[in-house]
């Protein structure tokens, strides 16, 4: 249990540094850095909650590349999944026809409005709303 908490904290540091917002590369003065950290905390919390929702639904494999464990560690944090979901939905808006064609290749991906059949549950996301998961 203690190791799991430690690993979650290390995962968060990775997300804050090179894995997500490149906080260490900002080189801001202390008075501005604290403001940036507040904004990042809000964005990080939102992306993490969305990623956790996607993982709980069991549809992570449709949003990110396949997850392989390296030495027992997870490849994708909930933050990473949440961040990539937003990008995936933006691509679906910009290139709906291409995405629909690619989705036809996999029997697990639906054809109308980003439908995914997982564990006999049909989950639908409107094509024009990246905010649809914020509910």
Mean pLDDT of 5-11: 69
Which two three-digit tokens encode residue 132?
């649809």
For the chain, the domains span 2-95
State the residue for tokens 């929702």: 53
**CA of 120: how far to CAs of 65, 101, 108, 116, in Å?**
22, 22, 11, 10
Total number of residues shown for the chain:
135
Please state the three-class secondary structure of 1-47 as a single string: CHHHHHHHHHHHHHHHHHHCCCHHHCCCCHHHHHHHHHHHHHHHHHH
The rounded percent of the chain whose pLDDT value lies above 70 is 54
Which two three-digit tokens encode residue 58?
């069991």
Average pLDDT, the chain: 68
CA distance 100 to 36: 38
Q: Is the dihedral of CA 61, 65, 68, 70 positive or negative?
A: negative
Burial of 126 from C-beta contacts in 10 A (0-12 / 13-18 / 19+): exposed
CA atoms within 13 A on the CB side of 32: 5
- At residue 121, the pLDDT reads 26
- At residue 66, the pLDDT reads 63
pLDDT surpassing 60 at residue 95: yes
> What tens digit of pLDDT does each residue of 26-72 get?
788 888 888 888 888 888 888 888 888 888 877 777 677 665 666 55
- At residue 53, the pLDDT reads 86
């Amino acid at each position: 249990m203690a190791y799991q908490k430690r690993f979650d904290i290390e995962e968060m540091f990775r997300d804050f540094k090179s894995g997500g917002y490149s906080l260490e590369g900002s080189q801001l003065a202390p008075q501005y850095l604290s403001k940036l950290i507040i904004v990042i905390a809000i964005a990080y919390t939102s992306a993490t909650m969305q990623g956790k929702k996607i993982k709980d639904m069991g549809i992570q494999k449709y949003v990110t590349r396949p997850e392989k464990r390296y030495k027992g560690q997870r490849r994708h944090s909930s933050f990473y999944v949440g961040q990539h979901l937003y990008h995936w939905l933006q691509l679906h808006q910009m290139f709906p026809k291409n995405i629909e064609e690619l989705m036809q290749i996999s029997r697990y991906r639906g054809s109308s409005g980003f439908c995914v059949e997982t564990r006999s549950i049909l989950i639908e996301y409107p094509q024009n709303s990246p905010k649809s998961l914020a509910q």
